[in-house]
Amino acid sequence: MPVKPPNVTSAEAQGPERAALLDLLVIGSSGHASVLVDAIELAGRYKVVGYLDDTRVCDTVRGNYRVLGGLNDAPTICAERHISDVVIAIGDNWWRRRVQQKLSEKCPQLRFPKILHPSAILAKSAEIGEGTVILAASHVGPASRVGAFCILNTGSSIDHDCQMENFSSIGPGTFAGGLAKIGECSAIGVGACISDRISIGRHTVVGTGAVVVRDIPDLVVAYGNPARVKRSRSEGESYVDTKKNCS
């Protein structure tokens, strides 16, 4: 279903309607979580109640919010606090998918809203899946389809008719031309450029600053200008330092 761009400004987020905000639990409390929390606060639709993070001691304060427990505490915390909405703030794509699966098994009633920074620009005909986050100054072009639980990081852009499959991500300052396709769980590094009509496979990592002018297959690491496949990789192999979050 087409998604309209958010029309809530940060000034509005400070207004009296703040009392009506829905509670939102954030899974993970790393640097990516801090970027997401900023977008959530500016968008003004949800009130962050705290974090769940297996890697931190309960009651640790991260930014303005407390770690309330680990992933196993989700059913109790959500029931006690009447929380229905959760965002998974884990940058590693495979790890985010794993946590989402675990969470959905434990708490099948949970909703995963998309988080759209107020400065993000979405074409009228763009489609965005549940749990996807579109961060500051990023752009999704006409007829592009972004699956569920994707990340479009700060200042990134996909042009017209692009496709990002579930749990894929593009790093800050990454650009993709029209009709580009990024496969499930694949990660495009900071500042990469992807030519129009390029297809990138599943579980592939494209390194920082790569210039991608040929298709890239599944399960490889590629980088350079022009980007070349450098080696194969396995599903779940770490490529950012967030893998330890929320096992």
82 vs 231, beta carbon nearer ligand COA: 231
Binding mask 149-188 toward ligand COA (x if CB under 6 A, else -) reads: ----x-----------------xx----------------
Binding to ligand COA in span 44-103, by CB under 6 A: 91
> What values do phi and psi take at 94, rounded to 5?
-70, -40
- Shortest Å, Cβ 211 to ligand COA: 10
Q: Which of 217, 119, 134, 222 is nearest to 170 (CA)?
A: 134
Which residues have a Cβ under 8 Å from the Cβ of 174 and sit 6 or more positions away?
A: 153, 156, 157, 188, 189, 190, 191, 192, 193, 194
What's the order of all strands across the beta sheet hosting 61-62? 61-62, 65-69, 46-52, 22-27, 85-88
Query: Of all residues in this chain, which one has the CB nearest to ligand COA in the complex?
Result: 207
First and final C-alpha spacing in the chain: 33
Question: How many residues contact ligand COA, by CB under 6 A?
Answer: 18
Does 224 participate in binding ligand COA (rule CB under 6 A)? Answer: yes
User: Which tokens go with 221?
Assistant: 């690491």
Task: In angstroms, give the least distance from the CB of 188 to ligand COA.
Answer: 8
In the bound state with ligand COA, the residue whose beta carbon lies nearer, of 91 and 177, is 91
Instruction: Give the Cα separation of 200 and 174 in Å (integer).
Output: 14
Q: Of the listed pieces 8-16, 52-60, 101-109, 224-232, which binds ligand COA according to CB under 6 A?
A: 224-232
236 binds ligand COA (CB under 6 A): no
Of the candidates 190, 211, 219, 229, which one interacts with ligand COA according to CB under 6 A?
A: 190
Q: Minimum distance between the CB of residue 191 and ligand COA, rounded to whole angstroms?
A: 8
Cis ω on the peptide bond leading into residue 226 (within 30° of 0)? yes
Q: How far is the CB of 44 from ligand COA (least distance, A)?
A: 25
Q: DSSP for 159-183? A: -TT-EE-TT-EE-TT-EE-TT-EE-
Least distance CB 172 / ligand COA (angstroms): 6
Name residues contacting ligand COA, limited to 116-135 (CB under 6 A). none
Question: Measured from the CB of residue 226, what is the shortest distance to ligand COA in angstroms?
Answer: 12
Contact 119, 102 (CB under 8 A): no
Cβ atoms of 242 and 92 closer than 8 Å: yes
Binding residue (CB under 6 A) for ligand COA from 159, 240, 245, 246? 240
CA separation for the pair 225, 206 (Å, rounded): 11
- Residue 208 touches ligand COA, criterion: CB under 6 A: yes
- Which residues form the catalytic set? 160
Sites of contact with ligand COA (CB under 6 A): 91, 153, 171-172, 189-190, 205, 207-210, 221, 223-224, 230-231, 239-240
